[in-house]
Amino acid sequence: MAELMPVLLVLAVGAVLLLGYPVALSLGGTALLFALLGEWLGYFDHAFIEALPNRVYGVMTNETLIAVPLFVFMGVMLERSRVAENLLETMALLFGPVRGGLGISVTVVGMLLAASTGIVGATVVTMGLLSLPTMLKRQYDPSVAAGTICASGTLGQIIPPSIVLVLLGDVLSAAYQQAQLEMGIFSPDTVSVGDLFVGALIPGLLLVAGYISYMVGVAVFRPAAVPAIPAEERPQHDSRFWLRVVQVLLPPLALIVAVLGSILYGVATPTEAASVGAVGALLLAASHRQLNWKTLQGVVRQTTIVTSMVFLIFIGAAIFSLVFRGFGGDEMVTDFLGNLPGGTVAAVALVMLVMFLLGFILDFIEITFVVVPIVGPVLLAMGLDPVWLGVMIAINLQTSFLTPPFGFALFYLRGVAPREVRTAQIYKGVAPFILIQLLMLAALALFPALATWLPGAIYR
């Protein structure tokens, strides 16, 4: 019976989640009930629960996690400062004269918003509200339009600075140290959030290139699906127009360069760079005349809600992992993955498949805090590079959030899309982008240097 307790705990958490209870309370509450039951049956040592205050104190004193509320603040402030609206309007006018130009502009703006906000839901909703009606009005195929918006919105998962990468970096850092200690390395190397940011740059930009290439392909082979803006509606590309392009593009680009550049050149840590981003977002809002007391109140309130949710999930996940470990669940996972036929390749493939399926029902925060601490040390002890593993997990979850019928990005767009856009059309539209994501995962698996070369070159 004792060896079944970890499995029963996981199944019980899944059942409670399916009943609709909040994730953090489901994780923590179910784990505590199992701890009481296990102690009563003599299968569980309450000393594991006594370690919880130290875990919570470690979260409170973790400087890396201070970046979370700062990046959330930056994203919410930019969402409400009309940056996205101005970018979409200007990029549409810039690329509009060519077939597929609106789709390309949506992809470029999605990349810029991803690098500026890192919040997937906000990006998909914002772009769905602003660009989908315009694309449909210009006779774009609804499937192509919906797929482009969903895929571009999920770039916030992988293009730094991303909240996903901040949380993954912190969890993987602990998992990497644990793996090295278990291997007998008592002066362990470290992996930082900055390493993960740099490692995600090339794969993220390759995804953007893949999206744009697909749009060009549609323009060549299905020109009626992505028409150009009629000549009579195009603005004259004179000096005034180019001045407008510079004025709209320069502020968000400057913010991205300030945040990422300070990390890449070692001027600031990710946490310090996040504060630069938060101040930059305030200045951008002020430049768009959107900064007032009411806006600031709303942004701070939303930042507090999101940050509280993140840390409450962290505490619930900490309770779950302690109880899971107390029942010997980590040893069970280690034995199972270590004895799989196919070795490391099979173990990575299985973990990625499980995370992909969990992405249908859990957000990246729960997966990062619950699954990665369990499987991370096992995989890293097999000799995997932590930066490569982190980027693989981020792209895998990005793909999961795009995949019908449960992908979160699809629900976000469905909530703001006009009624004439059918759900089946949204599903059809994301299929080519899912293929691009899978090809990127395969390329990373075959060529790990796509994620590991740049951090080594910069931080060597």
Q: Answer whether residue 173 shows pLDDT above 90.
A: no
d(CA 288, CA 306): 25
Torsion 354-358-364-365 (CA) sign: negative
Q: Enumerate residues 6+ apart whose C-beta is below 8 A from 93.
A: 229, 234, 235, 241
Block residue for tokens 């909703």: 125
Instruction: Give the residue with greater pLDDT, 50 vs 406.
Output: 50
Q: How far is CA 271 from CA 67, 69, 70, 237, 372, in A?
A: 4, 10, 8, 41, 22
pLDDT of residue 106: 87
Structure tokens at 381: 């002890």
The amino acid at residue 245 is V
Q: pLDDT (tens digit, 9 = 90+) per residue, 186-227?
A: 677 778 888 888 899 999 999 999 999 999 999 999 988 888
At 109, is the pLDDT very low, low, confident or very high (cuts 50, 70, 90)? Answer: confident
Once rounded to an integer, what is the mean pLDDT over residues 333-342? 80
d(CA 197, CA 161): 7
Q: State yes or no: cis peptide before 161, omega within 30 of 0.
A: yes
DSSP three-state, residue 197 = helix
The amino acid at residue 93 is L
Structure tokens at 335: 């034995």
pLDDT of residue 221: 92
Residue 332 is given by DSSP the state H
* Residue-range domain boundaries for the chain: 2-37+44-459
pLDDT of residue 211: 94
Max distance between CA atoms of the chain, in angstroms, equals 80
What are residue 79's phi and psi, to 5 degrees?
Answer: -60, -35
pLDDT of residue 209: 94
- DSSP strand E in 194-345: where? none
d(CA 338, CA 335): 5
At 445, is the pLDDT very low, low, confident or very high (cuts 50, 70, 90)? Answer: very high
Instruction: Give the residue with greater pLDDT, 359 vs 442.
Output: 442
Block residue for tokens 């130009």: 101
Is 218 within 8 Å of 103 (Cβ atoms)?
yes
At 2, is the pLDDT very low, low, confident or very high (cuts 50, 70, 90)? Answer: low
Is 9 within 8 Å of 327 (Cβ atoms)?
yes
Identify the weakest region by mean pLDDT among 124-138, 231-245, 359-373, 428-442. 231-245
Residue 384 is given by DSSP the state -
For 364-385, give one letter per residue: b (16+ CB within 10 A) or e: bbbbbbbbbbbbbbbbbbbebb
Name the pTM for this structure: 0.85
d(CA 352, CA 340): 15
d(CA 53, CA 171): 18
Block residue for tokens 């700062």: 70
Q: Answer whether residue 14 shows pLDDT above 70.
A: yes
At 116, is the pLDDT very low, low, confident or very high (cuts 50, 70, 90)? Answer: low
Residue 447: Cβ-neighbour burial (10 angstroms; 0-12, 13-18, 19+): exposed
d(CA 206, CA 398): 14
Mean pLDDT of the chain: 83
Block residue for tokens 């797929």: 147
Q: What angle do CA 285, 82, 284 make, to 5 degrees?
A: 25
At 460, is the pLDDT very low, low, confident or very high (cuts 50, 70, 90)? Answer: low
Once rounded to an integer, what is the mean pLDDT over residues 128-142? 84
Q: What percent of the chain has pLDDT above 90?
A: 15
d(CA 150, CA 70): 25
Q: How far is CA 10 from CA 17, 55, 150, in A?
A: 11, 21, 31
Taking only Cα atoms into account, the Rg of the chain, rounded to an integer number of angstroms, comes to 23
For 219-234, give one letter per residue: b (16+ CB within 10 A) or e: beeeeebbbbbeeeee
Torsion 207-211-212-216 (CA) sign: positive
Instruction: Identify the CA nearest to 164 among candidates 136, 225, 123, 129.
Output: 123
pLDDT of residue 115: 66
Structure tokens at 177: 């140290």
Q: pLDDT (tens digit, 9 = 90+) per residue, 272-294?
A: 888 888 888 888 888 877 788 88
Instruction: Give the residue with greater pLDDT, 437 vs 260.
Output: 437
| Helix axis angle, 193-221 to 423-446, nearest 10° | 120
pLDDT of residue 316: 85
Once rounded to an integer, what is the mean pLDDT over residues 142-157? 88
pLDDT of residue 433: 94
Q: pLDDT (tens digit, 9 = 90+) per residue, 231-257?
A: 766 667 777 878 888 888 888 888 888
Is 30 within 8 Å of 9 (Cβ atoms)?
yes
At 44, is the pLDDT very low, low, confident or very high (cuts 50, 70, 90)? Answer: confident
